[in-house]
Structure 1
Amino acid sequence: MANSTIIPNLLEHVRQAQTAGDWEPFRPGVTAHWFYRDPDGGPAAVLLKYEPGARVALHEHVGYEHMLVLEGDQYDEHGAYPSGSFIVHPRGTRHSPGSKEGCVALLIYEKAVRFVEE
């Protein structure tokens, strides 16, 4: 039986993770701090840190994705999302998220996205 992941103070965890250096490259200008992930593209939970001006290529969601902007700002073709914004991307939605000033967002998804363009 697997153990539960418990993070008693998510914002403090984000602050500590940013100085701990356990982030890995995700896309140009975007790094990832994984809580868990299925190696076959299944469920995952990750913190994504966008450097100022970074943008992720257009992609389609093949399962639900829940995103919470924890710090900074994020935007896409559908709007602008300041810190505290919670967005649910259902299956079939497409976007190319970016950040003008930089941000950290928590993403929890059931399936990895399909990139439409790189």
Structure 2
Amino acid sequence: MPNPTAPIVLSDFLDYARNLRDGEDWVAFRPGVTAHWFYNEGGGGPAAVLLRYEAGARVALHEHVGYEQLYVIEGDQYDEYGAYPAGSFIVNPPGTRHSPGSRSGCIALLIYEKAVRFVEAGE
């Protein structure tokens, strides 16, 4: 992760996100979902991450305890509220519960105010 006292600047963010290397830049997050962290304060604090879903992957039901901003960079994502193609921007307010997935696979940027609380056991 970058130095937390310096700004994170990516002049061509979309190109950066699409060209991350398998096995080097992505770490396991959930079954079928890998993560590339920009920052993660830990202890339930703020975080920014790229999530890459394999086709058919889905994250277990969870509740947002702070705001989450989500931008679908490529592919598709869906949840209980709708389907979101590339270019979609979604804000999930505190109290939102959902289980996001991707039919064809996707890369999405997520910025969390606070860590989520998983509702389903085993997550």
TM-score between both structures, scaled by the size of structure 1: 0.95
Query: How many residues get paired?
Result: 118
| Fraction of identical pairs, as percent | 68
| Corresponding residue SS for 2:19 | helix
Q: Which portions of structure 1, spanning 4 or more consecutive aligned residues, are displaced by more than 4 angstroms?
A: none
| Corresponding residue SS for 2:94 | coil
Instruction: Please tell me whether residue 76 in structure 1 is matched to residue 75 in structure 2.
Output: no
What does residue 60 of structure 1 align with? Answer: 63
- Structure 1 distance, partners of 2:63, 2:23, is 31
| Corresponding residue SS for 1:17 | coil
User: Mapping of 1:40-55 within 5 angstroms?
Assistant: 40-55=43-58
User: Mapping of 1:6-25 within 5 angstroms?
Assistant: 6-19=9-22, 21-25=24-28
- Structure 2 distance, partners of 1:70, 1:116, is 27
What does residue 98 of structure 1 align with? Answer: 101
Alignment RMSD: 1.3
- Structure 2 distance, partners of 1:77, 1:88, is 14
**Structure 2: which amino acid aligns with 1:47?**
L
Which consecutive unaligned segments of at least 5 residues does structure 2 have? none
- Structure 2 distance, partners of 1:75, 1:18, is 25
> Structure 1 or 2: larger helix share?
1
State the Cα distance separating 1:19 from its structure 2 match.
Answer: 4.7
TM-score between both structures, scaled by the size of structure 2: 0.92
Which consecutive unaligned segments of at least 5 residues does structure 1 have? none
